[in-house]
Amino acid sequence: MKCAIGLDYGTNSVRCVIVDTADGRELGTCVYEYPTGEAGILLDPADHNLARQNPADYLRGTEVTVAGAIAAARQAEPAFDPRDIVGIGVDTTGSTPLPVDRNGTALAMLDAFKNNPNAHAWLWKDHTGYAEAAEITALARAERPQYLAKCGGTYSSEWFFSKILHCLRADPAVFDAAYTWVEHADWLPAVLTGTDNPDRLRRCRCAAGHKAMASDAWGGYPDAEFLGKLDPKLGALRGTLSNETFVIDQAAGRLTEPWAARLGLSAGIPVAMGAFDAHLGAVGSGIRSGVLVKIIGTSTCDMVVAPNDAALADVPGICGIVDGSILPGYFGLEAGQSAVGDIFNWFVNYLQPGGKEAGSHAALTEKAARLKPGQSGLLALDWNNGNRTILVDQRLTGLLLGQTLHTRPEEIYRALVEATAFGALTIINRFEEYGVKIDQIVNCGGIAEKNAMLMQIYADVTGREMKISRSAQTCALGSAVAAAVGGGAHPDFAQAQTAMCGIKETTFKPIAAHHKVYKQLYKLYKKLHDGFGIQGKVLGMGSIMKELLAIKEKANA
């Protein structure tokens, strides 16, 4: 029996899963909720852009969840022995960089900085660097357009250099105390493999390529001259960033004795190069050419691969096109929506219509599911956290339109779900407009698995069948796939995926009558999308409310 460990560091918790490499069976799993902040996130009530995490939570979570998963695996499978584990794979959120000192220690774990949010990990959804993102975009547009071509034409406030540059401006003491900045996805394997010298740390292609404008075409990360024009100190930081980056079929290193002892595993087993959760989630969902994998969580990632020997046009507004970022030998294309589950959570947790019980996800979903497409007369934009794809603009906000004096909470809830579906369709359309054909959609993540109404709406809005990944924890499973390949259980990713990944029997097929209504609504959504999202775009909005009322009346007739 050969087993693999997948460690999945999410937005609110870390999960460990132990997988049988022969068939993908999940022998044991354990989740640890980050204790710091609000659901694991440090917030600032005065600045909704700020979102940080405590790296100590990552380490403690590793110990707790590996032990828990081993105990669970023993329970489920008496024959299981931790020595069966052939490798560890790691995925994290991103871009979630953290400042580290000369020894690779996170500044947040030093007494001097432990209470300073700027010294913590800057979580993917931190948007404090929006001004710096605009500055980087402007400079790159003028001087290094090639940098932007691979990341959708706009550098995001969610990404590596926006965050670091903002720290440099907002809190120079933290910036100056840092030797370098490391992605969570690189820091964790470095810790487990004892890579305490940041100069020797291997940085993953996934993070570097998608979020930090790194490419082999220009020798890795952006050049020091370019970064130096943003700030000389940022130029100097370039020296601490490697020219080479690594893909998940390579190892970050081998598990150290101390960590092996701490985790109850064999020392020396390989720890695979880390990657972002969505990228390994795509692997765990069986991604291959023509398959769009949608990881639907607080936000959404939409992942596609294309053979890296094919000519591929740059796709405007797509977060990134990076060779090897998802599967070795393929271009990884990443798109996404800045908030999906987070929008529903906002409605449920902040507005809580009718109180805790009446305003729960379950209660609202049950009522919303009974509504017909168009029946509410509502239309929303899914921009409460900005728009990642295709507008690449965090300085956008939510919009709800069509309210009457009788609009009910479940109607708004459904309109928010529909808005995210329209956003999803906009991404699919953009891929296909630029020649990336999508002939299958596989969804994963808790929402995809649990919310049949949402999946049916996605099918009805897009006019495509929605499939669901078999595993409930595809990101962790993808990490385990990388661990299995690294540990020699399978010769390559295609064979590992065939053995370990799969699709659920139940799928969601579009209902023609619903799709027809949603096609009308999508036209109106697209008008709002372009009108509010594209600078200088001038559109007539005067008919939107009337068209919505006409659709509503038809649906009610």
Q: Identify the sign of the CA torsion 357, 360, 365, 368.
A: positive
Q: Tell me the window of 66-74, 179-187, 237-245, 354-362 that interacts with a second copy (CB under 8 A).
A: 354-362
Min. distance of Cβ 411 from a second copy in angstroms? 10
Residue 339 binds a second copy (CB under 8 A) = yes
User: Which of 22, 312, 400, 503 is close enough to bind a second copy by CB under 8 A?
Assistant: 400
Residue 536 binds a second copy (CB under 8 A) = yes
Residue 169 binds a second copy (CB under 8 A) = no
Residue 356 binds a second copy (CB under 8 A) = yes
User: Which of 250, 266, 289, 352 is close enough to bind a second copy by CB under 8 A?
Assistant: 352
At 95 the three-state DSSP class reads coil
Residue 546 binds a second copy (CB under 8 A) = yes
Residue type, 491: P
Per-residue x/- mask for a second copy, residues 121 to 160, rule CB under 8 A?
A: ----------------------------------------
| Spatial separation of the C-alpha atoms in residues 382 and 97, rounded to whole Å | 26
Backbone angles phi, psi at 221, to 5 degrees: -65, 165
| Spatial separation of the C-alpha atoms in residues 18 and 26, rounded to whole Å | 6
Number of residues that bind a second copy (CB under 8 A): 56
Residue 397 binds a second copy (CB under 8 A) = yes
Beta-bridged to residue 254, according to DSSP, are: 270
Residue 371 binds a second copy (CB under 8 A) = no
CB neighbours (10 Å) of residue 142? 9
Backbone angles phi, psi at 516, to 5 degrees: -65, -45
| Spatial separation of the C-alpha atoms in residues 73 and 70, rounded to whole Å | 5
Residue 353 binds a second copy (CB under 8 A) = yes
User: Which of 200, 261, 539, 554 is close enough to bind a second copy by CB under 8 A?
Assistant: 539
Task: Sheet containing 42-44: give its strands across.
Answer: 42-44, 47-53, 121-122
Min. distance of Cβ 363 from a second copy in angstroms? 13
Residue 491 binds a second copy (CB under 8 A) = no
- Per the omega criterion (within 30 degrees of 0), is the bond before 156 cis? no
Sorted by sequence, the CB contacts under 8 Å of residue 402 that are 6+ apart come out as 376, 377, 378, 379, 415, 545, 548, 549, 552
Two structure tokens written together for 123: 């979580």
Min. distance of Cβ 533 from a second copy in angstroms? 7
User: Which of 159, 161, 383, 522 is close enough to bind a second copy by CB under 8 A?
Assistant: 383
Q: Tokens 């405007």 belong to which residue?
A: 316
Residue 406 binds a second copy (CB under 8 A) = yes
Nearer to a second copy, 41 or 322 (CB): 41
CB neighbours (10 Å) of residue 452? 15
User: Which of 342, 418, 449, 460 is close enough to bind a second copy by CB under 8 A?
Assistant: 342
Residues near a second copy (CB under 8 A): 46-48, 339, 342-343, 345-346, 350-356, 358-359, 377, 383-385, 395-409, 412, 531-546, 548-549, 556
